[in-house]
């Protein structure tokens, strides 16, 4: 089917792990192999020739290889110098971008790709508490972030919803990355199943309702931390119920928080939120990011960034 073909067409994105190496070193290293470096990324990444690679036009720590390039046995991957991560899932850490020495919370962190990305952007300074409810997945996070050379992560097993926001140890936490469980409907290899619909509509609706209730509670909990100032919410879902509708509900309930303006939320990314879901507020729709698997050569994804109202001028880029 077309959707299955889309899956094969997604480029191989390679995040350079700046804890262990640099973009230049990785570019040089691949040049010594069969891969050809293309200086200027083509406007349409599908035009990247076979066995070539280029820098991603949006993210400064990402390389793009052609689809099906298999790097799972590559020495740079085995060493932890590169991380194989879809482009869209690199968005949340970039949008959050805590400065050096910041305190941050990754609320639903395992297996930890976004945690290690945050850690790299913070240059291994400050502190990141990484919570996850699933002990086995948290062990994986410890292994992966250890291999990546992260030294500023404190993994904690348990529900983020049970964490006491007034605990003095979190007094300086300003940055939150919230990537809670979602339907996963944006993951390209799962789209066939969803489109073909082997679940009854009411089962799907109920599942989405349960998920969005959970997603809302995670965001509301982050807002209770006294110094929360930049709260990034993401899903790998294409459903408005888990995306724009969650944002709208949370904004209506929390006048202290607004959406960070487009200027600090991947401004060069063209696909923004669904206007129809924001009652015609172009500003709110523009403030959030969507990716469309059919057009953007990534999985389907959504990112929103809340800031405390008194703080809306704070940008991180
Ligand atoms: N951010 C991760 C990454 O980039 O590697 C992926 C996170 S995954 C979408 C959602 C995670 O939330 C799962 O690992 C799940 O175990 C965890 N989770 C679910 N409920 C939770 C809760 N109440 N508190 C903390 N983590 C929870």
- Tens digit of each residue's pLDDT (9 = 90 or more) over 230-260: 999 999 999 999 999 999 999 999 999 999 9
Q: Is 61 in the pocket of ligand 1 (CB under 6 A)?
A: no
Residue 222: what pLDDT? 98
Q: Is 159 in the pocket of ligand 1 (CB under 6 A)?
A: yes
Domain membership of residue 317 (yes or no) is no
The dihedral of CA 161, 166, 169, 171: what is its sign? positive
Q: Is 155 in the pocket of ligand 1 (CB under 6 A)?
A: no
Residue 6: what pLDDT? 59
* Residue 105: domain span: 89-311
CATH code for position 10 = 3.30.70.1170
Do 37 and 57 share a domain, yes or no?
yes
Distance of CA 41 to the CA centre of its chain: 22
Domain membership of residue 12 (yes or no) is yes
How far apart are the CA of 179 and the centre of ligand 1, in A?
A: 7
Range in 113-117, 215-219, 290-294, 308-312 the model is least confident about = 308-312
Q: For 153-203, how does the pLDDT look when each residue is reduced to its tens digit (9 = 90+)? A: 999 999 999 999 999 999 999 999 999 999 999 999 755 555 545 677 888
Binding site: which residues?
108-114, 132, 179
Residue 235: what pLDDT? 98
263: which 2 tokens? 């200027």
Q: For 16-39, how does the pLDDT look when each residue is reduced to its tens digit (9 = 90+)? A: 999 999 999 999 999 999 999 999
Q: For 59-117, how does the pLDDT look when each residue is reduced to its tens digit (9 = 90+)? A: 999 999 999 899 999 999 999 999 999 999 999 999 999 999 999 999 999 999 999 99
Q: Is 110:178 a contact under the CB 8 Å cutoff?
A: no
CA-closest residue to ligand 1 atom 22: 159
Residue 161 sits at the vertex; the CA angle it makes with 159 and 162, to the nearest 5 degrees, is: 70
How far apart are the CA of 131 and the centre of ligand 1, in A?
A: 8
Do 59 and 119 share a domain, yes or no?
no
CA-closest residue to ligand 1 atom 10: 181
Residue 178: what pLDDT? 99
Average confidence score pLDDT of the chain: 93
Contacts of 211 (CB under 8 A, 6+ apart): 181, 182, 183, 241, 242
Do 118 and 61 share a domain, yes or no?
no
Residue ending a domain, among 50, 84, 118, is 84
Do 225 and 188 share a domain, yes or no?
yes
CATH code for position 120 = 3.40.50.150
How far apart are the CA of 110 and the centre of ligand 1, in A?
A: 6
Residue 204: what pLDDT? 87
Do 127 and 173 share a domain, yes or no?
yes
Residue 302 pLDDT > 70, yes or no? yes
Identify the band that residue 7 occupies on the pLDDT scale cut at 50, 70 and 90.
Answer: low
**Cα–Cα distance for residue pair 48/195, rounded to 1 Å:** 29
Q: How much is the pTM?
A: 0.94
Residue ending a domain, among 37, 65, 84, is 84
Residue 235 sits at the vertex; the CA angle it makes with 221 and 302, to the nearest 5 degrees, is: 115
Q: Is 138:115 a contact under the CB 8 Å cutoff?
A: no
**Cα–Cα distance for residue pair 230/114, rounded to 1 Å:** 16
Active-site annotation holds for 236: yes
């Amino acid at each position: 089917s077309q959707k299955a073909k889309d899956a094969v067409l997604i480029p191989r994105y390679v995040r350079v792990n700046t804890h262990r190496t640099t973009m230049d070193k990785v570019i040089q290293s691949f040049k010594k192999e069969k891969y050809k470096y293309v200086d200027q990324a083509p406007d349409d990444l599908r035009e990247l020739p076979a066995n070539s690679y280029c820098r991603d036009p949006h993210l400064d720590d990402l390389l793009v290889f052609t689809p099906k390039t298999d790097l799972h046995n590559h020495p740079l991957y085995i060493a932890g110098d590169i991380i194989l991560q879809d482009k869209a899932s690199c968005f949340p850490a970039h949008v959050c971008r805590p400065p050096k020495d910041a305190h941050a919370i990754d609320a639903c962190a395992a297996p930890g790709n976004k945690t290690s990305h945050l850690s790299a952007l913070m240059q291994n300074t400050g502190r990141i508490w990484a919570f996850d409810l699933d002990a086995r997945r948290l062990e994986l996070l410890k292994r992966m972030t250890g291999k990546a050379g992260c030294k500023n992560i404190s993994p904690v097993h348990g529900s983020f919803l049970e964490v006491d926001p007034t605990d003095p140890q979190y007094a300086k936490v300003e940055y939150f990355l919230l990537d809670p469980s979602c339907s996963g409907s944006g993951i390209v290899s799962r789209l066939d199943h969803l489109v073909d619909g082997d679940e009854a509509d009411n089962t799907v609706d109920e599942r989405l309702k349960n998920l969005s209730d959970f997603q809302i509670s995670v965001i509301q909990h982050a807002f209770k931390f006294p110094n929360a100032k930049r709260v990034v919410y993401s899903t790998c879902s294409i459903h408005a119920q888990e995306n724009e509708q969650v944002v709208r509900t949370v904004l209506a309930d929390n006048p202290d928080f607004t959406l960070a303006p487009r200027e600090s939320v991947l401004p060069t990314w063209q696909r923004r939120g669904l206007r129809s879901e924001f009652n015609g507020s172009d500003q709110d729709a523009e403030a959030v990011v969507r990716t469309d698997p059919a057009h953007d050569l990534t999985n389907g994804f959504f990112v929103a960034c809340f800031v405390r109202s008194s703080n809306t001028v704070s940008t991180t880029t």
